[in-house]
Structure 1
Amino acid sequence: MDDPVMPWSVGIRFSHATLQVLAEDSGVDLLHVKGPAVDDRLTEGERQSIDADVLVRPAHVDRLVAAMHAHGWTTMYRFEDGSAFEHASTLVHGVLAPVDVHRSFPGIDGGDHAFDRLWADRHTVSIAGIACPVPSLAAQRLLLILHAARGGSLGSPDIRRSWDDASEQEREELMALARDVGAEVALAAGTGRLAAFDDRPGHDLWRVLSTRETSRARILLARVRAAPTRRAKVRTAVHLVVPNRRRMETRLGRPPTTREVAAAYFSRSRAGTHELVALLRAAARERRGR
């Protein structure tokens, strides 16, 4: 007889519970987000997730990762291997579901203050029998909207339940929270109000993200413009052009060869250059036509 297979949703709950125990033992502040941590008022039935997500106080990230490694977890993707936001690291375990450890949340630009604000309004819910801190209802609305907007899912049920179905008072509370944690532009992108923020640094980035822009050049330019410093702009550009060796290794099932990395770099650079040239030509034609 085959051994019974644990449902994936159960494995995710156990991962949340395990992370909470590790956090408490290590003196780590973390908030459980998405998946089973979402308030029932913002979901319909069981939420489908592929991993457990936690948002960690930035100063405690290294401590948590060290505790996870000591508990049998291994790092699959580092923060630098993820999105251009470099916001999350993926760790895997031989028995438990994978975990995304977030040191920040895309769209929230308030840094340490933002986590302090979310942490101050936390409450606990039971996940796999363990009391786990989760953000306030308003903060959960915000995180769900930002996540949907970043993925270009403006018709997402998460946005409908978190914004469209919210009362005027709930929307005011949500917008006040967004102002406090530096998420006004991203929230506006997810709620159809982005035009009011066209003078803000993150406007172009959240426009291309929320509309699922396919042009590499437009995405690159928007991300570079949104970077806060010159060094960050260079780092962002490099991140988007240079092939990610770790992700190539996962896809190939082995370390990529130097030739394969060079070929990937050439392909991405050529495609990006062609789109950038076309974009600049279009902009020049537009200026001449004015």
Structure 2
Amino acid sequence: MDVLVEPARTAAVSSHLARCGWVLETDFAAGSPFEHAATWRHPVWGYLDVHRWWPGIEIDPARAFDLLWAARHDRQFAGVGCAVPAVVDQRIILLLNAARAGAHARPQDLERSWRGLTRTEQQEVRARIGQFRAEPAFAVTQGGLERYRRRRSYRLWRAVGEPTSRTAEWCARVYAADGLTARARLIARAVLVNRQHLEVLAGRPLNRRELATAQWRRMLAGGREITKATARIGRRP
């Protein structure tokens, strides 16, 4: 299940989940290139992805939450009231998820969120996309990303949507980061293995030797990718 929380209340929600028996599996930094969601696991209720923003929406996360909240609807789930996004916002979320999935996007999501809509409904989606400044991500699903080369997020969406190396993806993440502090933090993390991700794959905690082996392999792979990229640059006319 996915939930979106007010960004300023993320820490409070996380603390409450921990008190209720949920276990953090991957935090925001380890979850994805966009660092937008943390994954929690419960022995009874399964998995929960807690989002603090939605990748592709490029206005301030707090402002984006306010817009989503203002247009929300109330629904009942198992007899409990729950706020859900407006239909137009649900369509946008499906489109943004499809943009992140790239070639692996589910055709039915694109059908429900765009291709199967009337012209009036598509115009409503486009208007809302503009409010969120989500044009680059939307363009990934429409084949027009090159129009947004001047946007800071362009390289990251290109890296997400096309087959590329991990080194290229990290470079795109650094370029898309907001401010020198954020960029320096990403550069420092780029050389380290994602321990949480590796332990999820292994299904258990890793010991020091296993982490050291994974780190060495990451350094070797990064070195090979940089060497290949340098060689390609050298061959350009």
Q: What are structure 2's unaligned runs of at least 5 residues?
A: none
AA in 1 matched with 2:141:
G
Q: What are structure 1's unaligned runs of at least 5 residues?
A: 1-51
CA contact (8 A) 1:122 1:133 kept: yes
**Aligned CA distance change for structure 1 residues 127 and 77 (closer, same or farther; 3 Å):** same
Task: Report deviation, 1:206.
Answer: 0.8
Of the three residues 140, 146, 159, the one matched with 1:189 is 140
**Aligned CA distance change for structure 1 residues 179 and 231 (closer, same or farther; 3 Å):** same
Answering whether residue 108 of structure 2 is matched by residue 108 of structure 1, we say no
AA in 1 matched with 2:5:
V
Aligned to 1:120: 70
- Find the aligned partners of 2:167 and 2:93 in 1 and give their Cα distance: 28
Structure with larger Rg: 1
**Aligned CA distance change for structure 1 residues 156 and 231 (closer, same or farther; 3 Å):** farther
AA in 1 matched with 2:226:
L
Aligned to 1:173: 124
CA contact (8 A) 1:84 1:240 kept: no
- Find the aligned partners of 1:197 and 1:102 in 2 and give their Cα distance: 26
Aligned to 1:217: 167
Task: Report deviation, 1:140.
Answer: 0.8
Of the three residues 68, 82, 92, the one matched with 2:31 is 82
Answering whether residue 48 of structure 2 is matched by residue 99 of structure 1, we say yes
Task: Report deviation, 1:154.
Answer: 4.6
Aligned to 1:64: 13
Matches within 5 A, 1:136-151: 136-151=86-101
Answering whether residue 201 of structure 2 is matched by residue 264 of structure 1, we say no
- Scaled by the length of structure 1, what TM-score is found? 0.74
3-state SS in 2 of match to 1:151: helix
Task: Report deviation, 1:234.
Answer: 2.7
- Find the aligned partners of 1:238 and 1:178 in 2 and give their Cα distance: 33
Aligned to 1:204: 155
Q: Percent identity?
A: 38
- Give the count of matched residue pairs: 235
3-state SS in 1 of match to 2:76: strand
3-state SS in 1 of match to 2:46: coil
3-state SS in 2 of match to 1:98: strand
Answering whether residue 186 of structure 2 is matched by residue 236 of structure 1, we say yes
Q: Deviations along 1:126-185, whole A, 9 cap, x unmatched?
A: 222222111111111111111111121356321122112222222222222222223111
Aligned-pair Cα RMSD in Å: 1.9
CA contact (8 A) 1:163 1:191 kept: no
AA in 1 matched with 2:97:
H
Task: Report deviation, 1:257.
Answer: 2.8
3-state SS in 1 of match to 2:50: strand
Where in structure 1 do 4 or more consecutive aligned residues deviate above 4 Å? none
Answering whether residue 111 of structure 2 is matched by residue 156 of structure 1, we say no
CA contact (8 A) 1:148 1:159 kept: yes
